[in-house]
Amino acid sequence: MRFVQKIRSLQREMVFRDPSEKKLFWHSSAIGLRHLAVCVQVFGIVGWMLSRVFANPGARFDRTETVAALIGMLIGTVTTYLARSVLINAIGCFLCAAAVAFGFYSNASGTLNPELWIMPMGILITVGMAPVFSDYYSYLASALAVWFIISYGHIDSIIKSPEASWIVLFIVSGVLLGVLLNWLFVRERQKIFLVQRELIKLAFKDTLTGIDNRRSLMEAMQNYHARAASNDFYFLLIDIDDFKRVNDTSGHDVGDEVLVAVAEIIDRYTQTHARGRLGGEEFGVVFAGEESAACALAKQLCESVAKLRISTHAITISIGISRLSEAMSVAEIFRTADQGLYEAKRQGKNQYILIS
């Protein structure tokens, strides 16, 4: 029950943090909808082919229109399948929808009452394609194009029909229903995207400091370890000196301030490297680069943290450094870095020790 309540709470907070996240949503939606879009497009193509198979035996269809419609459908479907951006996906869906509409439009010439044929086909295409468009504007443009194509040449007869008002109402209702469905599908995808964002944050981010947590850092370390044979990687095990004394004398709220401040410094200087909070007052960094650069980073971190003053406390850190080697397991690399950390504290703290 609490899980359901949490999901609902996350869904109510459907807000993108910044334009880049919104752009990521549109991009991921377009990519994620490719297979569904292709399935719907194939369904439309097969439906059009079956309409030809079961057409009136005496019906005659324009060969040029048939070939043009088929080519448009294939180009639209292939474009959709290969799409890797919102624009290309929209173009592919638009082309296929327009081609399917043109294919059914060409069928109308073989019927006695084309007006009765185009209306249900227009509604079917308009509503059927609503879930596969990743944004509102491309769907609306495609829906209008479908109705323009499928009703071309029949508008006068529709207007002059005694039931013209009903027909127009029928068409407008179909378009509005499609727009509503598309909007609802987009909203649901947005909910899923934002909930997944929060769940990923909870799974891989430290809630107090905002940097990666132990799980995330360990996954990164495993990846780096797999490439250690051909690259230089170093693991920095960082511990806040005398952190227990800070908690005991000033309280856990001040201790939390210290953790956040140290995490901000680590995050600032290790933007291009994997870093995270391992637990308690321990942090870790997987540094990609030469030994001298890893030591320079450790020195910079020690000096920057030493400038902190939080509630009368002077804050320092000690760092143990170990090189990632394929000959050592991740656990052994941790133990080696821990030995360096122990030695750094034994020698007076506020320094780093490399164990090679």
Evaluate if residue 328 carries a pLDDT over 60: yes
Euclidean distance between CA atoms 313 and 89, whole angstroms: 57
What percent of the chain has pLDDT above 70? 94
Yes or no: say if 340 and 322 are a contact pair by the CB < 8 Å rule: yes
- Confidence (pLDDT) at 318: 96
- Confidence (pLDDT) at 12: 61
3-state DSSP assignment of residue 263: helix
Tell me the average pLDDT across 18-23: 83
* Alpha-carbon dihedral 321, 323, 328, 329, rounded to 10 degrees: 60
3-state DSSP assignment of residue 354: strand
- Show which residues are catalytic: 281
Evaluate if residue 1 carries a pLDDT over 60: no
Q: How many CA atoms within 13 Å lie on the side-chain side of 92?
A: 29
> pLDDT digit string (tens) for 86-131?
999 999 999 999 999 999 988 876 666 666 777 888 899 999 999 9
Q: Which fold has domain 214-355?
A: Alpha-Beta Plaits (3.30.70)
- Confidence (pLDDT) at 286: 96
Evaluate if residue 241 carries a pLDDT over 90: yes
Query: Which two tokens mark 350?
Result: 């506020």
What percent of the chain has pLDDT above 90? 61
Domain regions of the chain by residue span = 2-202, 214-355
Output the DSSP codes for 67-98.
HHHHHHHHHHHHHHHH--SHHHHHHHHHHHHH
- Confidence (pLDDT) at 111: 64
Output the DSSP codes for 27-45.
HHHHHHTHHHHHHHHHHHH
Q: How many CA atoms within 13 Å lie on the side-chain side of 259?
A: 23
Place of tokens 């006695």: 112
Evaluate if residue 155 carries a pLDDT over 80: no
Q: What is the mean pLDDT of the chain?
A: 89
3-state DSSP assignment of residue 238: strand
- Confidence (pLDDT) at 3: 61
Euclidean distance between CA atoms 133 and 143, whole angstroms: 11
> pLDDT digit string (tens) for 252-300?
999 999 999 999 999 999 999 999 999 999 999 999 999 999 999 999 9
pLDDT: is 282 or 160 the higher one? 282
3-state DSSP assignment of residue 46: helix
Evaluate if residue 143 carries a pLDDT over 80: yes
- Confidence (pLDDT) at 9: 65
- Confidence (pLDDT) at 99: 96
